[in-house]
Amino acid sequence: SWKWVLAPIILYVFECILQVWHVQQKVVVTKVVMHPACVLELQMQKRGFCMEVGQYIFANCPAISLLEWHPFTLTSAPKEDFSIHIQVAGNWTERIWGGCTSHPGPALAKIKVDGPFGMASEDVFQYKMAMLVGAGIGVTPFASILKSIWYKFQQADQTLKTKKIYFYWLCRDTGAFAWFNDLLASLEQKMAKSAKADLLTYRLFLTGWNTSIANNGALHFDTAMDTVMGLRHKSIFGWPMWNMEFAAWLQPTPVVGVFLCGPEALAKSLQKSCHQHSSLDPRKVKFYFNKENF
């Protein structure tokens, strides 16, 4: 029986050695961006690093902890330096944020990266129609997807199946929207100039607000630009009514990929809506649900 056990052990040991060698490869932090709502963006380079959209990495900062490795979704496109966005939500992230604000060099000089690893969002390019739903910092995998789709259109990539993206982002406060605002504004301008404005339709839902924000939105309701985000699409106060959103897909669209990165409660709600609005008739719409948890 030892012959059957020896081969898997050898493969496991080889994999561990390969992983240690890969982790020890030097990571260069090329840019550090401090976004509103305590979100830190790190842009990095690493020899031999090859990523796809929707993937994630494990990051370790020895200056903070030698043993702690934390997963982060890649927010860059494959053509760019790979990047992650870190939201302050615990001791480790607080120390990363504090280290970058005071002494960013020593804090990130020896950062280690393991990966990338695959996630469900990689399959988004297999659908002609895709519905992306992100909650809070769960928007990170979709940042990579939106950037990649734009690059593929610019390069006239014939292998791209995706023709339409519906993007939903849910956040509790306006500060959380701010770090992603620049990407959406840039995509709006580029798509309008290249007559691709119908490629992306997005809806931003502000699930927590105060009276002054609501009054300001009502006062400027007729303006062309959104007063909260400065975009063409107006921010919506409250939670999405998923039954109404899914009911709008009555047009003959055979298959729609629904991708979520968010909490379990939202996943259950979306999965239920996908089941209720999917038809057994192959000539009508069918929703395929994919989720990621953070």
Residue 240 has a pLDDT of 83
CA neighbours closer than 13 Å in the CB half-sphere of residue 64: 24
212: left (phi over 0), alpha (psi -120 to 50) or beta: alpha
Res 287 pLDDT > 80: yes
- Nearest to 258, CA basis, from 173, 142, 133, 137: 133
For 170-214, the pLDDT digits (tens) are 877 666 666 677 777 777 777 667 666 677 787 888 876 656 555
For 49-74, the pLDDT digits (tens) are 888 887 888 888 888 888 888 888 88
Structural domains in the chain plus CATH codes: 20-117 (2.40.30.10), 123-291 (3.40.50.80)
pTM for this prediction: 0.71
Res 132 pLDDT > 60: yes
- Average pLDDT value over all residues in the chain: 76
Element holding 213 (H helix, E strand): helix 211-219
Residue 9 has a pLDDT of 79
CA neighbours closer than 13 Å in the CB half-sphere of residue 273: 23
Report the percentage of the chain scoring pLDDT > 70: 72
Whether 257 contacts 117, CB under 8 Å: no
Name 164's Cβ contacts closer than 8 Å, sequence gap at least 6. Answer: 128, 129, 130, 198, 199, 201
Res 220 pLDDT > 60: no
Under the banding of pLDDT at 50, 70 and 90, the label for residue 82 is confident
Q: How far apart are CA 270 and CA 289, in angstroms?
A: 8
Report the percentage of the chain scoring pLDDT > 90: 0
Residue 229 has a pLDDT of 59
